[in-house]
Amino acid sequence: MTWQWRDGTTWRDFDPGLASQLESAREAGQATCVYSFRGQPYEVDFQQNTQVNLGTGFARDVRRLATSYLAVGARVEARFEGKATYYAGKITEVTGSTYSIAYDDGDRETDVAEDLIRVVSDADEGAAVRARMGFLSDARDDLKAGLRTETGKKISTSAACCVCLLLFINLIIWLSMSLEQVDSEHYAIPYDKPRGRVRNEVFVEGLHMKPAYGQFILWPKTYETVEEVVECNSEDGVRIELTVRYQYLPREKSLYKLTKMYTEHKDDSDSEFEYIYDKVLAWQARAAIRNGCARYAAQEFQTQRGLVQTEIYTLLSERLDRFMHTDVIDVQLVYIKRPPEYESEVDAKESARNDIDKANNERAQATTQAQTKLLAAETAANKTLDTARTAAQNTLVAATAEASVLTTRYATLAATYKNVKTIHGMSNEALLTYIATRLRGSVAATISLDGPAQTSYIDELT
């Protein structure tokens, strides 16, 4: 397959390595692919068929073109890892628009784009083999004829021993350069530096053989901690600076793929490369943090800090899982910095809120005091009413008793006088006279009279 980008009205081919990376990401089912080229971060959207410069925001169109079909078993030459040199091999598997190749030197490669492959004829292959094996034929002839100098004389036994010693020393040096210890905190992927190839092997702790003059690309075996300081806009448009700390770990089964995806050649060299996984990880992490920031208002970063942190963790986990084959176990929202003007407004608002709360508390306190006094007054009034009711009840009882006594007494007198009247046959007038006589006899009467007449006027004469 061929990937192209639009340059005005002209379509230009992607760099073969980048085309292979885009094809691999597309075949893996990814919606986008983030990569770096010449120090600039880019993101290709396979659904929109666009390429966006993440640094500048500039976008252009991209497209994917199908090419010819290659069968399993075909002899081919391919540019291993997208390098400039072609290596001979055989197609072992066809997967959609990509191919798996077994190279003659023992290496294997999967997901090779078709634009990195060319078919070779039998004649070309024979010539290539003869060219590669020519030095062996020469060596075989020399061995048959004996080692000879330019003059045709055999080399002496001591010279032959020196040659063997030099070969042995080279072997020792080669072994010393090919063995390396991998510590317990890293995984290691062998990198053949002279050929510019990364092998699809993952080594763990221990002593391992690496390619001669090559090196191990180390990946963390334990969770790494990263702290990002990101400026973003909140939902209500306030500029906020967030300090976020998170722990991540790339998946072991994806290390080879990550190594292929996130290494970039320096100055178009096949042997020198730059490891850009950390750069792309930082870009993806900052994008997830900005997305989380945009979902909350500035005030909510203080009042709902836990929810903001959970949202950032969710978005960061999903993004690194999707694009970076990396797991995230924890996210901490370390620091939130808002503009000084906003902080001043928030402080003033909080101060006003505190004043309102204080006034409400004072009002509640005054209301409580008034209710307490009212309750005390009601209690005293109820006590006075209860006393008055008790006194009135006592007076009523006493009056009722006295009235009963008087009523009984008068009833008795009435009955007595009735009997007297009946017995003596008195008329009403006679009975009244009788009663009056009894009353005069039982009550002492006091008669008041005016003083005697004036007997002396001496005072008036003086």
CB 101 within 8 A of CB 117: yes
Query: Distances in Å between the alpha carbon of 410 and those of 117, 388, 414?
Result: 145, 32, 6
Tokens at 396, concatenated: 């009523």
Fold of 2-125: 3.30.720
- The amino acid that residue 131 corresponds to is A
pTM: 0.44
pLDDT tens digits for range 171-182? 777 666 677 888
224 versus 345: the higher-pLDDT residue is 224
Residue 112, phi then psi, degrees to nearest 5: -85, 125
- What average pLDDT is seen over the chain? 80
Per-residue model confidence as pLDDT tens digits over 48-97? 889 999 988 888 888 886 554 467 788 888 888 888 788 888 889 887 67
Identify which of 215, 307, 201 has the alpha carbon closest to the alpha carbon of residue 255. 201
Q: Summarize pLDDT for 406-455 with one digit per residue, the tens.
A: 899 888 888 888 888 888 888 888 878 878 887 776 655 555 555 555 55
Let me know if the fold of 2-125 is the same as that of 223-338.
no
Q: Report CA-CA distances (Å) from 131 to 70, 223, 226.
A: 26, 49, 52
197 compared with 328, residue with greater pLDDT: 328
- The label of the residue with tokens 């006003």 reads 352
Helices (H) and strands (E) in the chain, counts: 10, 21
Q: Is the pLDDT of residue 271 over 70?
A: no
Nearest-angstrom CA–CA distance, 110 and 39: 27
Kindly state the tokens that stand for 108. 């294997």
Can you tell me whether residue 288 is helix, strand or coil? Answer: helix
Cβ neighbours, 10 Å, residue 261? 22
335 SS3 class: strand
pLDDT(254) > 80: yes
Pairing assessment for the beta strands 215-220 and 206-209 based on DSSP bridges: unpaired
Could you tell me how far CA 214 lies from the centroid of its own chain?
41
- Domain extents for the chain? 2-125, 146-219, 223-338, 344-442
222-253 confidence digits (pLDDT tens)? 999 999 999 999 998 889 999 999 999 999 88
Q: 240, 216, 215: which is closest to 230 by C-alpha? A: 240
The region, left, alpha or beta by phi > 0 then psi within -120 to 50, assigned to residue 96 is left
| pLDDT surpassing 70 at residue 149 | no
Residue 331 has what pLDDT?
94
pLDDT in tens, 386-420: 899 899 999 998 989 888 888 998 888 888 888 88
- List the beta bridge partners of residue 273: 265
pLDDT value of position 458: 59
Which position has the token pair 């006295």? 402
Alpha-carbon distance of 434 to 436, in angstroms, equals 5
pLDDT digits (tens, 9 = 90+) for 312-331: 999 999 999 998 899 998 99
d(CA 297, CA 304) in angstroms, rounded, equals 10
Q: Round to whole Å and give the CA distance between 252 and 7.
A: 39
Question: Domain 223-338: what homologous superfamily?
Answer: Band 7 domain (3.30.479.30)
